[in-house]
């Protein structure tokens, strides 16, 4: 055997060994975590908002977030448009809401009729899970929805949050500077939730301190996800008396306590690098008239990042109410305002 033949034989043997080693389970690439989705059958008990409309399609999804939590979702699409040519609006509901409820349920079909797709999700604080979640975990639900939107071929995304969802969307946009996220829409947005919780909703310093003490105790004992022995008071301008509601330590610490909460829109709105639209219904009985202006002021401070911030007060002659907070009865003007603003941005 010549030296060249020997070298080639040695090289071939080495390649064979490396190939064998690379195919062994211990050396193969593994997946540590993943986001999964599947289209599912139409759920029962849906409102007329989910009836079939001409020029649009509606499908339902089950999405598994990266930590395994299952996110239910509804996807409205305009007929005859490819995903790559369509703007997708990812919708996040308010406290104890879901994709089945207003304003998401009314916006989805109306925006689809105007050429926009909408992926409305139910986060881990939906329905009876109200006041139980850890604020930081909801970002995984939004991230899962965003990744599914990309997997479906959408290349232009808009984030929309209603009520409690507004701060979740602000936080996500401020900490994920995704290039395909082109705008942020805030509906019925409060300004500073820990301040509002203490001074407007609870209005009881002794109860507020009891909640803080019980929450820290649950942190120390590893029971953050369990309901506290102290209930939180919720007062609104349209409530006849404060309501008491169960709450977990992780919710109070990450949303409501002014020492540790990160649910302050006046902080995050300055750090969102996208155009922002805020809309408040004139009959909103939950968000005070001054709160959008607190956000506007923060968004226009020196060094703030949003290139454009607009506020629309949607006319509504009805008395202030919880229905007004969800834009019920004002669905079409809301959809018209959102679509026009997006069109002005060429989205």
Percent of the chain with pLDDT over 70: 91
Q: Which two structure tokens, joined as six digits, stand for 154?
A: 């959408």
Tell me yes or no: is domain 36-192+264-344 CATH 3.40.50.1820.
Answer: yes
Euclidean distance between CA atoms 291 and 189, whole angstroms: 8
Dihedral angle over CA of 41, 165, 344, 109, nearest 10: 30
What contacts 48, CB < 8 A, 6 or more positions away? none
Residue 2: pLDDT band with limits 50, 70, 90: very low
Range from 137-146, 216-225, 239-248, 289-298 carrying the lowest mean pLDDT:
239-248
Residue written as tokens 């080693």? 21
What strand order describes the sheet that includes 181-187? 36-40, 56-64, 70-78, 117-122, 87-92, 156-162, 181-187, 276-281, 309-314
Q: Which of 2-11, 106-115, 175-184, 200-209 has the lowest mean pLDDT?
A: 2-11
For the segment 86-115, the average pLDDT, to the nearest whole number, is 98
| Residue 238: both structure tokens together | 């349209």
pLDDT at 150 over 80: yes
The confidence band for 244, taking pLDDT boundaries of 50, 70 and 90, is very high
- More confident: 27 or 338: 338
Instruction: Report the alpha-carbon distance of residue 192 to residue 262 in Å, rounded.
Output: 9
Q: What angle do CA 66, 71, 73 make, to 5 degrees?
A: 135
Would the pLDDT of 10 be above 70?
no
Relative orientation angle of helices 164-175 and 135-151, to the nearest 10 degrees: 70
Q: What is the pLDDT of residue 11?
A: 45
Residue 237 pLDDT level (bands cut at 50, 70, 90): confident
Average pLDDT over every residue of 106-127: 98
pLDDT recorded at residue 25 = 54
**What percentage of the chain exceeds 90 in pLDDT?**
88
Q: What is the mean pLDDT of residues 272-278?
A: 98
Q: What is the mean pLDDT of the chain?
A: 93
User: Quick one: which of 242, 204, 209 has its CA closest to 228?
Assistant: 209
pLDDT of residue 241: 67
Decide: 286 and 189 in contact? Cβ < 8 Å.
no
**What SS3 state is found at 255?**
helix
Q: Judging by DSSP bridges, how do beta strands 276-281 and 36-40 pair with one another?
A: unpaired
Backbone angles phi, psi at 316, to 5 degrees: -160, 110
**How much is the pLDDT for 5?**
41
The residues pairing with 17 across neighbouring beta strands, listed in sequence order, are none
Give mean pLDDT, residues 257-269: 97
Q: How far apart are CA 43 and CA 62, in angstroms?
A: 11
Q: Does the bond joining 103 to the residue before it have cis omega, within 30 degrees of 0?
A: yes
Residue 211 to residues 152, 179, 184, 242: CA-CA distances in angstroms? 43, 40, 33, 16
Give start and end residues of each alpha helix (H) in the chain: 3-23, 104-113, 135-151, 164-175, 193-196, 205-221, 249-251, 265-268, 291-299, 322-325, 331-344
> Counting Cβ atoms within 10 Å, is residue 18 exposed (0-12), middle (13-18) or buried (19+)?
exposed
DSSP state of 209: H
The arithmetic mean of pLDDT across residues 35-54, rounded, is 96
Residue 149 pLDDT more than 60? yes
- Using pLDDT thresholds of 50, 70 and 90, give the confidence band for residue 240: low
Q: Tell whether the model's pLDDT for residue 3 goes beyond 60.
A: no
At residue 9, the pLDDT reads 46
Residue 314 confidence (pLDDT) above 90: yes
Q: In terms of pLDDT, which residue wins out, 346 or 2?
A: 346
User: What is the residue extent of each domain of the chain?
Assistant: 36-192+264-344, 195-256
Give the pLDDT confidence of 190-203 residue by residue, as tens digits: 999 999 999 999 99
- Is the Cβ–Cβ distance between 269 and 333 less than 8 Å? no
Estimate to the nearest angstrom the gap between the alpha carbon of 148 and the chain centroid.
14
Could you tell me the two tokens for 337? 């305002």
Taking 60 as the threshold, does the pLDDT of residue 6 lie above it? no
Is the separation of the CB atoms in 50 and 72 below 8 Å?
A: no
């Amino acid at each position: 055997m010549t030296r060249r033949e020997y070298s080639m034989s040695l090289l071939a043997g080495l390649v064979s060994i490396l190939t064998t080693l690379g195919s062994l389970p211990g050396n193969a690439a593994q997946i540590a975590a993943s986001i999964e989705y599947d289209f599912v059958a139409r759920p029962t008990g849906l409102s007329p908002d989910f009836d079939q409309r001409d020029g649009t399609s509606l499908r339902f999804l089950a999405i598994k977030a990266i930590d395994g939590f299952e996110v239910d979702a509804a996807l409205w699409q305009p007929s005859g448009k490819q995903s790559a040519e369509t703007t997708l609006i990812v919708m996040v509901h308010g406290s104890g809401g879901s994709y089945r409820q207003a304003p998401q349920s009314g916006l989805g079909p109306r925006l689809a009729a105007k050429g926009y797709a909408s992926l409305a999700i139910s986060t881990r604080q939906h329905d009876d899970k109200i006041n139980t979640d850890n604020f930081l975990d909801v970002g995984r639900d939004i991230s899962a929805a965003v990744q599914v939107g990309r997997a479906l071929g959408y290349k232009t995304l808009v984030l929309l949050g209603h009520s409690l969802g507004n701060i979740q969307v602000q936080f996500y946009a401020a900490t994920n500077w995704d290039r395909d996220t082109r705008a942020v829409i805030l509906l019925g947005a409060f300004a500073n939730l820990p301040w509002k919780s203490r001074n407007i909703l609870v209005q009881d310093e002794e109860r507020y301190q009891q909640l803080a003490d019980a929450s820290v105790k649950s942190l120390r004992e590893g029971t953050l996800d369990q309901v506290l022995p102290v209930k939180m008071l919720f007062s609104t301008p349209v409530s006849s008396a404060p309501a008491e509601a169960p709450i977990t330590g992780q919710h109070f610490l990450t949303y409501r306590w002014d020492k540790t909460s990160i649910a302050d829109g006046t902080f995050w709105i300055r750090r969102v690098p996208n155009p922002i639209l805020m809309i408040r219904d004139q009959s909103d009985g939950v968000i005070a008239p001054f709160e959008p202006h607190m956000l506007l002021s923060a968004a226009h401070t020196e060094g703030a990042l949003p290139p454009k911030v607009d506020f629309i007060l949607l006319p509504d002659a009805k008395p202030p109410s919880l229905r007004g907070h969800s834009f019920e009865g004002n669905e079409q003007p809301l959809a018209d305002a959102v679509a026009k603003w997006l069109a002005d941005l060429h989205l």
